[in-house]
C-alpha cells in the first residue's frame, strides 16, 4: 500500500508571501471567532444580570403590593368592626365605634361640601344659610333667584 500524505493547508512549494497571507487569514478568522465568543459572553452576562435585577425588583413590587393589601384589609376591618388582631375590650370597642362614627360624619360633611362647591361653580347661588343641592319646584326659584 502506498503512503498517503496528509493534506496540508500550506503547499510544499509555497512562497513566503503565500505563507504570510495564509497566516494572516488564519489569525483574522481566529480573532473574529474569539471576538464573537467574547461578545456573546458579555451579552450573556449582561442579560443574566438584568434578569436578576428584574427578579429582585419584581419581588419588591409584589412585596409592596401585598403590604398595601394587608394595610387596606386592616383599615377596612377597623372601619367596619368585623375583626381585629387585638382582643377588643369594651373601652377599645367604644373608641373604635366613636372613631367610625366620626369618620362617617366627616365623610358625609366632605361630600356635602363638595356638592355645595359644585353647584356654586355651576352658577347656583343659594340664599344665605342654605347648603346642598338646589331644591325642586317653586322653592328653586325663590331660594336661588332663578
The chain-wide mean pLDDT, for the chain, equals 72
Query: Could you tell me which of 111, 122, 113, 115 has the C-alpha nearest to residue 144?
Result: 122
Name the one residue in this structure whose C-alpha cell is 340664599: 127
Residue 17: what pLDDT?
A: 73
Instruction: State how far the Cα of 135 lies from the Cα of 17, in Å rounded to an integer.
Output: 106
Q: What percent of the chain is modeled with pLDDT above 70?
A: 66
Residue 146: what pLDDT?
A: 44
Residue 145: what pLDDT?
A: 47
Instruction: State how far the Cα of 56 lies from the Cα of 27, in Å rounded to an integer.
Output: 43
Residue 134 contacts residue 124 (beta carbons within 8 Å): yes
**What nine digits make up the cell of 81?**
368592626
pLDDT at 41 exceeding the cut of 70: yes
Span 16-42, mean pLDDT? 78
Residue 2: what pLDDT?
A: 54
For 72-125, write each residue's pLDDT tens digit: 877 777 776 665 555 666 776 777 777 888 888 888 888 888 888 877 777 766
Residue 85: what pLDDT?
A: 56
pLDDT at 140 exceeding the cut of 50: no
Q: Specify the 3-state DSSP secondary structure of 8.
A: coil
Domain ranges of the chain: 16-81, 86-146
Amino acid at each position: 500500500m502506498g503512503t498517503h500524505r496528509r493534506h496540508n493547508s500550506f503547499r510544499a512549494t509555497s512562497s513566503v508571501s503565500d505563507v504570510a497571507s495564509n497566516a494572516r487569514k488564519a489569525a483574522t478568522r481566529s480573532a473574529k471567532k474569539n471576538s464573537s465568543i467574547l461578545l456573546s459572553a458579555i451579552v450573556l452576562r449582561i442579560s443574566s444580570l438584568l434578569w436578576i435585577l428584574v427578579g429582585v425588583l419584581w419581588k419588591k413590587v409584589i412585596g409592596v403590593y401585598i403590604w398595601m393589601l394587608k394595610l387596606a384589609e386592616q383599615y377596612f376591618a377597623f372601619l367596619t368592626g368585623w375583626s381585629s388582631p387585638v382582643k377588643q375590650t369594651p373601652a377599645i370597642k367604644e373608641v373604635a365605634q366613636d372613631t367610625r362614627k366620626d369618620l362617617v360624619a366627616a365623610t358625609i360633611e366632605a361630600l356635602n361640601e363638595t356638592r355645595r362647591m359644585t353647584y356654586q361653580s355651576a352658577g347656583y347661588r343659594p340664599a344665605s344659610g342654605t347648603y346642598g343641592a338646589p331644591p325642586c319646584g317653586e322653592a328653586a326659584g325663590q331660594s336661588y333667584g332663578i
